Structure 1
Amino acid sequence: MKKIKIAHILHSVGGVDVSLRLILENSNPLQFENIVIHGIVDTKEGFYDKNKVLVTEYKLPISREIAIANDFISIIKTYRILKKEKPDLIHCHSAKGGVIGRMVAILTGIPVVYTPQAFSYLSTNNNFKRMVFLFIEKLLSKGNVTLLASSKSEMNRAINEVGFDEENVLLFNNAIRPLTEINSLSIKKTWPDNYICTVGRPCYQKNIDEMIRVFYEVKKQQDIHLVIMGVGHYASQLRMIKKMISEFDLSNNITLLDWVSREDVLHIISKTQLYISTARYEGLPYSVIESLALSIPCIVSNCDGNKDLIVDNYNGYLINENDTIRFSKKVIQLLNDKNKHAVFSINAKKTFELNYNIIEKIKDLEAIYLSQKVK
């Protein structure tokens, strides 16, 4: 049987990078052949399939920000690559990958699936920019494109706000492999054993300034440390966050880790008391999925992505955006209620096993690829 060739196009950082690697490492290499087109400086690590075979990759000037000259060059070079490779299907990941992939799909006629991992228009509180980004999404929602949402929240936004026809929207939840073995920490541990943690760069999306306010309230009553991982990449608000930490006199109570390998992230999450997130929006956050897989209760903002994973008072708590006092009270409550913590831990693991195990769910994605290829 002839393999189906899929071209993946993306800016390969953060959860987008994790998502693609999980797809490549778990899909059937006897049925699917993959190539990856990504940014020159986004990742230095190669991509591998299920058999540990290196996947063909092309590096182009694909960046996170809008860069008209580089974006135009990327579209032209992607077109040439696809004319040479002749894939059966394009899978574009993230907003920038979505723009480049869908533009090339128009030129080549190749069917395309698009996974935003959170729509770009959610990334700003500037009304003009938000309108521009939404207009671009609406414009490119037409034609031979299927929206492959990473969460039900993203699926609903695609239909109700972006304007995708319902029949052109499918769902494949982000998913990971079961976390049966956790590696030892490869970096020096500089924080105490009693801590809570999060993964998120200081930026508008992750709303880390609200997390600092929450933690400030928690520290008034609770002896606990906060570890924030991944603050070094695209961290537009890092200076502001460091200033807040200093002003709140929390320098000895918060650890900021610039770059942390996924193995170290998993180790740190596995030892935490709680996982917290104050994000304004998400696609379907891997760090929360990983927390569930590790039986860690979560207290998170009630936003897209978070609310798809956490059921309030079942495997954690959902808190409305910027409700600082309620968030801090729930952190304190769960840190001190060992019985509830134990119940939430059991329910967290159940949530993962039922819904987010990629070994079980990859067949759904493979079926979607097959259906789109023959459209």
Structure 2
Amino acid sequence: MKQERNKIVFLTQSLGGVETYIREIVLNVDKSKFELIIVSPFGESINDLCENQNIKHYTLKMARGFNPLLDIKTIWQFCQIIKRERPALLHVHSSKGGFLGRIAGRLCRVRSVFTPHGLSYLSFTGFSRNVFFLLEVFAKRFTDRILAVSHSEANRLQYEVGHKAEVIDVTLNAIDVTGSTPMYSNIDKGSDRIMHVGTIARLTYQKNPLLFIEVAKLLIDRVPNLMFHILGAGLHDHLKPQVDALIDKYGIQDKINIIDWGHFSGSRTFLESLDVFVLTSVFEGLPFSLLEAMAIGKPCVVSKCDGCNDVIQNGVNGFACMTKEEFSNSIFLLLTNRELASNIGMEAFNYVRTHHNIKIAINSIENIYLSNLKRENG
């Protein structure tokens, strides 16, 4: 007799890193046990994923900011999907999708697992930060289970937002590392070769692209044969005018290459072209771009922030920095010391293979799903 699969509906308002997370689950989950359905805004790559994997996909428009009328409409529409599909469990992603999805789940009496991928109130300051923080606190009453992607995220959920420790599980973000090999071999062609430093980041407050430009300015003054690249423009470019203005101010237009975000498959090629990978984020859940860079042995320089702190051991498998001077000095050291860069890259490669392997992490995620199904059925 064929075993009935457990139907799980995913809801997300964000793409980018959240899409990567969903992709890894879709490609690795035991499909004899679980049937997945995805609800998200329109996105070409997630549409392709669902089509290729024969997964039902509902397109649902959601407002990024606080929009009560559209938010109520979204909850109602998601409730209609829940009633139609009758899932055993919801897995709701990102702050907005997680907020609306938890409310819809409670209204429809379906348990939900919430994964924040970085808490949205950290993207704001002053009054706006307080508003979004209070919304997250309000959503506690609708929360059944939390699946955090890093220990730093779990700590904020417990000690800042006030969730009880017993409702929080942690499964670190993970990627497919099969077939990955360290390929750090760029800085060996002599001082005349153009060297490349890059980041994968939207032009938003969270990703802090202005700090990346400041770091670039410091390094260009020290290393003339250097190019900087930002992959991620064209997706919520809130700081695009400020980024362009700062580049113009420093007169480094010919040294900064800003690339529109295209298909997901382009990120691997981009990372392979770099000598050093950089993240200047204010906060993260646990960045997939960092894991992907480490998985091919690229030396990485990152912010000392949530998410990155869970991965980078300063001076061992990368560098963690606070100021533009620290970023500049760390990148300069890697660009001018090939042995150090190679050792850092190899440590990063080994760390990701050991701690962030999706083939291992998927078992933890499946067990969390099953334990919540048992609670519902029990």
TM-score range, shorter chain: over 0.9
1:1-375 matched pairs, under 5 angstroms: 1-39=3-41, 41-43=42-44, 45-46=46-47, 48=49, 52-125=52-125, 127-178=126-177, 180=179, 194-222=195-223, 223-320=225-322, 323-375=323-375
- Distance of 1:280 and 1:273 partners within structure 2: 23
Q: Is the 8 A contact 2:173 2:356 kept in 1?
A: yes
Q: TM-score, normalised by structure 2?
A: 0.92
State the Cα deviation string for residues 288-318 of structure 1 (Å, max 9, x = none): 0101111111101100111111110011110
- Distance of 1:46 and 1:141 partners within structure 2: 31
Runs of 4+ residues over 6 Å off in structure 1: none
Give SS of 2:38's match.
Answer: strand
Deviation of the 1:66 alpha carbon: 2.3
Deviation of the 1:171 alpha carbon: 0.6
Give SS of 1:142's match.
Answer: helix
Give SS of 1:141's match.
Answer: helix
- Distance of 2:136 and 2:60 partners within structure 1: 22
- Distance of 1:325 and 1:46 partners within structure 2: 42
- Distance of 1:301 and 1:97 partners within structure 2: 26
Amino acid in the other structure paired with 1:158: L
* Structure 1 stretches lacking a partner, 5+ long: 183-191
Deviation of the 1:231 alpha carbon: 1.4
- Distance of 1:312 and 1:93 partners within structure 2: 30
Identity across the alignment (%):
29
- Distance of 2:173 and 2:45 partners within structure 1: 23
Amino acid in the other structure paired with 2:21: S
Amino acid in the other structure paired with 2:172: N
Deviation of the 1:353 alpha carbon: 0.4
Deviation of the 1:259 alpha carbon: 1.9
Q: Is the 8 A contact 1:95 1:120 kept in 2?
A: yes
Amino acid in the other structure paired with 2:111: P
Amino acid in the other structure paired with 1:219: I
Q: Is the 8 A contact 2:180 2:295 kept in 1?
A: no
- Distance of 1:170 and 1:261 partners within structure 2: 31
Q: Is the 8 A contact 1:299 1:318 kept in 2?
A: yes
State the Cα deviation string for residues 47-104 of structure 1 (Å, max 9, x = none): 647x953211112222322222221111111112111211111100001111111111
State the Cα deviation string for residues 97-136 of structure 1 (Å, max 9, x = none): 11111111221221111001001111112x2111111111
Q: Is the 8 A contact 1:196 1:273 kept in 2?
A: yes
* Structure 2 stretches lacking a partner, 5+ long: 182-192
- Distance of 2:56 and 2:139 partners within structure 1: 27
- Distance of 1:31 and 1:193 partners within structure 2: 50
Give SS of 1:140's match.
Answer: helix
Q: Is the 8 A contact 1:196 1:275 kept in 2?
A: yes
Q: Is the 8 A contact 2:136 2:161 kept in 1?
A: yes
Q: Is the 8 A contact 1:218 1:328 kept in 2?
A: yes
- Distance of 2:48 and 2:227 partners within structure 1: 36
- Distance of 2:194 and 2:16 partners within structure 1: 26
Amino acid in the other structure paired with 2:141: K
Amino acid in the other structure paired with 2:168: V
CA RMSD of aligned residues (A): 1.8
- Distance of 1:178 and 1:201 partners within structure 2: 25
Q: Is the 8 A contact 1:3 1:31 kept in 2?
A: yes
- Distance of 2:112 and 2:250 partners within structure 1: 49
Cα gap change, 1:298 to 1:345, in 2 (>3 Å): same
- Distance of 1:133 and 1:144 partners within structure 2: 16
- Distance of 1:60 and 1:264 partners within structure 2: 26
